[in-house]
Amino acid sequence: MESYARHFSIEPIFNKVVETAEFDHVRQFWRVRTQDFEYRSRWLIVATGENADSLIPQIQGIEQFRGPVIHTSVYKSGSEFRNQRVLVVGCGNSGMEVSLDLCRHNASPHMVIRNSVHILPREMFGISTFSVAMKLLKWLPLRLVDKFLLLVANFTLGNTERLGLRRPKTGPIELKNATGKTPVIDVGALSQIKSGKIKVMEGVREITKTGAKFMDGQEKEFDSIILATGYKSNVPIWLKDTGFFTKDGMPKTPFPDGWKGGNGLYTVGFTRRGLLGTSSDAINIAGDIAEQWRIIEGFESSCTSHILPI
């Protein structure tokens, strides 16, 4: 990324928070205000993505828990939880990787799995699973690719349902495209679940002062709680009066046409299709702005060439 920025003379501005961004209909440009400056531009690309802010769910009784409660967005290392009993709420990639890291620091993670989840191996035939999926999608129907991924996953990882990890009925790529729910890429957590070092728990019914009560009737004590409950878009907080985004901060127009709004507004990274969708958006946006830039340059050149001396 640094070499890319140097090559194109890109100078990112860090440690700034966008407070508002709105279109000036009189002057026909965007005003983007930070805490100490205002930027103006003909075009605005919203690239904050689907996962900009922490998603904190409402869990009954969590305010009375006596120990620390943190979101994975601020998690640094399992060393802070050494020898502790830790409740990890959520079983996505963050929940799995945090639980694995806690094991490495001699903590005892209990991971809450409320819904079904797809778990895939990190590699297939020595190639990253993501790369395999992307290559197959160029030649095969999506559902056939899903069947292949699940066949290899079951052969490599075994039957995960015996560990309390139910698979959704919809395939991993189809589910990602429809809901944005990313399959879990196993980096070692599954072996710790098999060994019993990571304990799988059903949904939380209530948080108590010293622990939690679960849907299956169990009650356990914990020293800390880590919320691996995902992220959400923050666009509605700062982007004003466009009508292009939903109240949840996602484009109203579905993929593959949700990359362009009105008045020079663009979005990238909101497709729920991972890097493949982001790449599609970026290519479309670059081409569209380049075409407009050529028109502007051509118009200015034409005006200059017809200026006559007095």
Q: What is the pLDDT of residues 41-92, one digit of tens each?
A: 999 999 999 989 999 999 999 999 999 999 999 999 999 999 999 999 999 9
Q: What percentage of the chain carries pLDDT values higher than 70?
A: 96
Grade residue 125 by pLDDT with cuts at 50, 70 and 90.
Answer: confident
pLDDT of residue 308: 42
Give every CB contact of residue 183 below 8 A, 6+ residues apart in sequence.
117, 118, 119, 120, 172, 173, 175, 176
Cα atoms found within 13 Å of the Cα of residue 146, Cβ hemisphere only: 16
d(CA 153, CA 186): 10
d(CA 278, CA 253): 15
Coil, strand or helix at 281? helix
Give every CB contact of residue 274 below 8 A, 6+ residues apart in sequence.
130, 176, 182
CA angle 101, 107, 112 (to 5 degrees): 75
pLDDT of residue 283: 95
Stated pTM of the model: 0.83
Grade residue 306 by pLDDT with cuts at 50, 70 and 90.
Answer: very low
pLDDT(134) > 90: no
